[in-house]
Chains A and B, each alone.
Chain A
Amino acid sequence: MAETANQGAGKEASAFLFEREESLTADTFIRGLWKENPVFVMLLGMCPTLAVTNSTLNALGMGLSTTFVLIFSGALVSSLRNWIPKQVRIASYIVIIATFVTLVDYLIQAISLELYAALGAFIQLIVVNCIILGRAEAYASKQRLLPTIVNSLGTGVGFTLALLSLGTVRELLGSGSILGVQLFSDNFQGWVIMMLPPGGFFVLGTWLLFFNWLRLRKQHPAPSGATVHAR
């Protein structure tokens, strides 16, 4: 009982607007992984989530790129937060985010042209990923540098984990491999649908179903009726 009350209060406090500066705690990091997971809870950044998770490597590449942009743009926004007047803040944030996306774009090309070709236009589209602008507006613009970096890292890792959970399932069913390593015999029948965008929708839906089921079960540990005899 007390726990649920605390959870409720925590939700209130961690809602988008912070009035006061937050002190650095473990929750600053962990929040992004689970309670405020950008994909599974906030349902943000759906475009890369559905489009580039057809293999584990693509998911990892996209997740890490986004994390990079999150951390650096968050850090710069936070350092400049007292200098940026309210009227020009969106313009400033977008320029800052676009800068780091451009850096990532060059970096990925320098690291691997194959990955760059696989991720395609979605690297450039990180600019308009609402997770990043959301973090800048809701957190970085009001918080000190260190908590911002930690919080951005948490959100980025949460995003990466979410993409990976889609990417591994889709790669496993779609081509019978993980990170390009074939797990079955050559005779494996790939589920073509998993490599196409509809597969992204199906897998995302299934994960959401699973996480909501977990959350409901946590909130009502022993409901009457159905789940009793199911166990």
Chain B
Amino acid sequence: MVKDIEIRSSPHLKRKMTVDRIMRSVVLALMPISAFAVWQFGLSALLLLVTTTGVAVLTEWFFARQSGQGNTIGDWSAVITGLLLGLTLPPGFPLWMAAVAAFVAIALGKALFGGLGYNVMNPALVGRAFVQAAFPVAITTWTPAFAPGRFVELIPSTLTLPFMQPVPVADWVAGLNLDGWTGATPLAMQKFQHLEAPLTDAFTGLIAGSAGETSALLILLCGLWLAWRRMLDWRIPVSVLAGAALTALPFWLLDPHLYPSPGFVLCSGGLMLAAWFMASDMVASPVTAKGAILYGLFIGVLTVVIRLFGGLPEGVMYAILLGNAVGPLISSWTQPRVYGSK
């Protein structure tokens, strides 16, 4: 086989670690999380994930073709963006808004910068930040998990007509006759009413929240699998979580009634998903080992600071976007010293 002989400088022995191989593994790792979201929230969550993924792939196809890059769908990165975006949205989010989010994620977050490998920020979070600013009410309207008819009926707001206000879900939720449902996520309840949900529920995911952010346990397992396969830099999620827990600890010790416990901080909201699957975005995070740790700590600290002192219950999205923005700076600060130089 003449083709296999390489007349180049080393390395000659390589693993077949290509972009689409890594991306396929990430999609695979996201599958259990998506399945859990569908089991928990039913048909609406399924449609939401299908919509965001479909629109993301279509947008990717359109822009890649316009810019003459050929077909870039095969690298699976648009699928990841679509899936991650869908997992961070509330399960009853109107599909047309989800489509807007997915379009913005790929068009504004990725295609305008030149496609995969050139995006400054995590595309899924760019899309989510856009709809957070555009539709602040819809994106904070939560519906209960494990509604009895979730596999045969949709959450009423899912099929809202394009450009129209979401169909109110209050009556539908009241019709479910659920005890103790307040319409708030554990995170919002902690922030505004200082009621902490049981840690085991938050850990296993038997709570309300965005479609795929509820089960910290499942996300942890999927993330660990990727890290074990060396498909993500373990330093980033570990330092994000460490940064968050260490920032929350002194406040909790000061006043356990007012501030959440570090365990609750780690298991609630989107922190777990964001730490393992979004902060670790290979393009938008620093490349050096020291840089990765700094970057992770920055995101973790900022998340907790926003949660505790900001106007919003969840801060991990803005923390990661800001982390992405300072990523290149961190990279250049932490360049390893060339051996022998001062």
Chain A interface (Cβ < 8 Å from any Cβ of B): 176, 184-185, 187-189, 191-194, 196, 198, 202, 225-227, 229-230
Contacts and interface: CB of A to CB of B under 8 A. Distances in A.
B133 A198 contact: yes
Contacts of B108: 202
Given A184-B163, A185-B164, A191 B65 contact: no
B65 A226 contact: yes
Contacts of B332: none
Given A189-B138, A226-B66, 11 more contacts: A185-B164, A187-B164, A188-B163, A189-B160, A192-B134, A193-B130, A193-B134, A225-B68, A226-B67, A229-B65, A230-B65
B48 to A, nearest CB: 17
B266 to A, nearest CB: 31
B66 A176 contact: no
Contacts of A192: 133-136
B68 A226 contact: yes
Contacts of B138: 189
26 contacts: A176-B163, A184-B163, A184-B164, A185-B164, A187-B164, A187-B165, A188-B163, A188-B164, A188-B165, A189-B138, A189-B160, A189-B164, A189-B165, A191-B134, A191-B135, A192-B135, A192-B136, A193-B130, A193-B134, A194-B134, A196-B133, A225-B68, A226-B66, A226-B68, A230-B65, A230-B66
Nearest to B67: A226
B321 to A, nearest CB: 13
Contacts of A229: 65
B212 interface: no
Interface in B162-183: 163-166
A193 B133 contact: yes
A230 B164 CA distance: 32
Given A226-B66, A226-B67, A226-B68, A189 B130 contact: no
A124 to B, nearest CB: 29
Contacts of B133: 192-193, 196, 198
Contacts of A225: 68
Contacts of B160: 189
Contacts of B68: 225-226
A227 B97 CA distance: 30
| Chain B interface extent, by class | 10 to 19
A227 B67 CA distance: 8
A170 to B, nearest CB: 12
Interface string B139-172: 0000000000000000000001001111000000
B220 to A, nearest CB: 34
Contacts of A230: 65-66
Contacts of A185: 164
A202 B133 CA distance: 13
Given A194-B134, A196-B133, A198-B133, A189 B66 contact: no
- Identify the interface centre among A176, A193, A229: most chain B CB within 10 Å of its CB: A193
A166 B133 CA distance: 19
A198 B126 CA distance: 13
Nearest to B133: A193
Contacts of A191: 134-135
A202 B112 CA distance: 12
Interface in B79-130: 97, 108, 130
A184 B68 CA distance: 38
B65 A189 contact: no
A176 B130 CA distance: 18
B69 to A, nearest CB: 8
A185 B160 CA distance: 14
A226 B164 CA distance: 36
Contacts of A193: 130, 133-134
Nearest to B69: A226
Contacts of A226: 65-68
Contacts of B166: 189
Contacts of A194: 134
Contacts of A184: 163-164
A189 B136 contact: no
A230 B160 CA distance: 32
A56 B318 CA distance: 31
Q: Which 5 A-B residue pairs are closest in the complex by CB-CB distance?
A: A226-B68, A193-B133, A193-B134, A191-B134, A189-B165
A188 B164 CA distance: 4
A194 B163 CA distance: 14
B98 to A, nearest CB: 13
B60 to A, nearest CB: 15
B67 A189 contact: no
